[in-house]
Structure formats: structure tokens, C-alpha cells
Amino acid sequence: MFLLDDGWFGNKYPRNSDNAGLGDWKENAKKLPHGLGYLVQEATKTGIKFGIWIEPEMVNPKSELYEKHLNWVIRQPERPEIYYRNQLVLDLTNPEVQDHVFGVVNNLFTKNPELAFIKWDCNAVIYNAYSQYLKDKGIPQSQLYVDYVHGLYKVLERIRTKYPKVPMMLCSGGGGRGDYELLKYFTEFWPSDDTEPIERIFMQWNYSYFFPSIVTDNHVTNWGKQPLKFRIDVASMGKLGFDIVAAKLSLNDQLFAKQAVSNYHAFKEIVWHGDLYRLVNPNEAEIAALMYVDPARSKAIVFNYLVNTRQKITATERPVVLNGLDPQKKYRIKEINLYPGTHSTIDSSMVYSGDFLMKVGINPDVTLERTSVVLEVEEN
């Protein structure tokens, strides 16, 4: 799937930066002279699904929506406007605004039925909280925050009633919308704009106490100094995606990425629906180790990462003790996601009892040369 992110809309006020155009959800005629539908159709022809970024709860003061519907904007009329990311929040307590936000999504799907994904962003909080709609209705302003959220739920209920199966990402920098109630309507959420892979190991570890992997978006980006293998291995513990320019990758990186994606499709159901066991806490050791086991306890995936590179020693001098297996079953262990030209130090011909692996364990041999090791455990 290819996702078209921010910047595709706005004509009177083109969305060339984050200071204009938000709220005017019509394709920019210069950027997309043939319309969004042309891109969707061309992607579909080549077997690629097409997704789109929107932020329908928000508005730039420099927009046609702001000019035409100032009363739809949450702002205190007697005070200077305060902006975050040059934008303001629309008043979802107002049914007209609810209709507008629903219409943004509905129009996209009406015109482009093949549209396969929505990235719903939310990049501002409410400043100078005041609703003209609540004032006109004689409702106390203290109701604004509660009624806003109820208004958002109403919009999402309408969207899900009409489009029940379309995947939608709940996006907000800093994980500001890791929200159980909203996850009734969204298929996944964005934990943070910080995609540096070492930071993500700690972040994903902590998020795992509250949210399952199937709703956690983990993307490979250019943040950090770690090699591509490390970044993909870390991002594979959830909904894997790529925010990189593939054409700029080396040939070996491209080969590895293709193989890693193929491997991911083979084990993702275990990560998404299996049981998670936290084996080695990165806050307490030089490595992190996490393990996902399928319900039948016949197959598992173990992720091992070096998180402390300050000491020039082998990080795993002791085995990592596994968990969640059947003590009576026999298992083979194979290293996957090997980078082109490298060889595993794990003997895949060995057979272990589940009891042995859960009492003694196996050493993944994480070192400064092997900073991420992914192991496939399979019943023999």
C-alpha cells in the first residue's frame, strides 16, 4: 500500500506548508491536475492499494473554511487566537461541523471507492476553549470538552456504519490519541513521531503493557544510526510500515527489506494475535528480548536487540530464558531476517524440549556485530 500524506489539497490557499489550506479538502489543481482519483486508479492497476492522509477536525486561519465558517472554530472572540502548528480545532459539539467532518471522509470514498486506507491526524489541542454553538444553545461552556468528544464519536459511528472494513490509522504526534474508546473505530494508532529505533524499543515495551501489537503502528524511517536490519526488526513487533525513499536504499538493503517483509507476512499473525512474553527488560539489561507465541504453542518469534553499545563486550553472555512454550513439546530454533552476506551463529539443527528452553533458554548471541537477532521457534 502507498499512502499519500499531507500537502495534497487546497487551491486558494495551497497546502505547501503547515500554515495554510487545512480545512479545504479539494485536490490542489497544480499538484494533482488529474485529481486524486487518477492516482488511486493508477495504483490499483499496478496492484498497489492507495491510502490518504486527512486531518478533518482542524483548520488553518489561512483557509476558505475559516473565512466562510468562523463560527465553526473553537476560539474566544475577544482574545487573540493561539495556534499550535498554525491551526485551530473545529467545534465538533456543533452538528453542522459533525456533518462537515463526516463529509470529508464520505466524499473521498464516494469519488474513490477503491481508496483502501485513511490516516486520520490530530496535531493540535484546544486553546482558548469557547464554543459559539454552545453559547447559542444556552449550554454551559464547561460542557465543551465532553461534548466535543461525544461529537467525534458520532462522526466515527457514521463513518464505520457506512465503511465498516476500511483500515484507519489514529495518528497524533507523541501518541496523544492512544485511546481505548477511539480504537472501537480505528484499526491502529501511531505511538509517537519519535521513530528512532533504540527509543522505539523502550517505547514499544512500555506500550505493550496497555495496547496489543495489532493496533501499534511501527514504521521504518531514517531516524537513528542503526542499520536497516535493526530498524526493520524493531518495527516488526506490530504493524510494520516504511516511511523511507526505497530508491535510495543500497541493493543489499533492498534485498533485505523484501525478504524481511516476506518473513513478516509469515509471522505477523503470531505477533498480532499470539501471547506476548517480555523476556529481558531493556531498562535493566544491555539487551531487550520479547517473544510472541501462537495459541497452539507450536510456533513463536523471539526479538532480541542490543540497547547498550557503550561497552565493547558480547552482550548476551547468558542464555535468554524463553516462555509460553509447551514443556512436553520439542522445538527447533532458526534465525531469520539475516542480512545478505551474513550467516547465523545459531545451530538450527538442534532440537530442544520446551521445558529446557523455559528453564535454561538459548543464547541469541547478540553482539556489537549482531545488534538485532530474530529467532523463529517451531515445533519439531
Whole-angstrom Cα distance, residue 183 to residue 200?
21
H-assigned helices in the chain: 35-45, 64-68, 95-111, 132-137, 144-162, 197-207, 228-235, 251-273, 354-359
Whole-angstrom Cα distance, residue 91 to residue 59?
10
Catalytic residue among 99, 193, 243, 347: 193
DSSP label at 254?
Answer: H
What is the helix (H) or strand (E) element at residue 181, kind and residue range? none
Whole-angstrom Cα distance, residue 305 to residue 300?
17
Whole-angstrom Cα distance, residue 354 to residue 326?
5
Helices 228-235 and 197-207, axial angle in degrees (round to 10): 10
Query: What are residue 242's phi and psi, to 5 degrees?
Result: -130, 125
What is the helix (H) or strand (E) element at residue 288, kind and residue range? strand 287-293
121 is catalytic: yes
Catalytic residue among 91, 121, 217, 294: 121
The cell for 197 is 529505533
Whole-angstrom Cα distance, residue 131 to residue 112?
34
The cell for 174 is 507523541
Which residues have a catalytic role annotated?
Answer: 121, 193
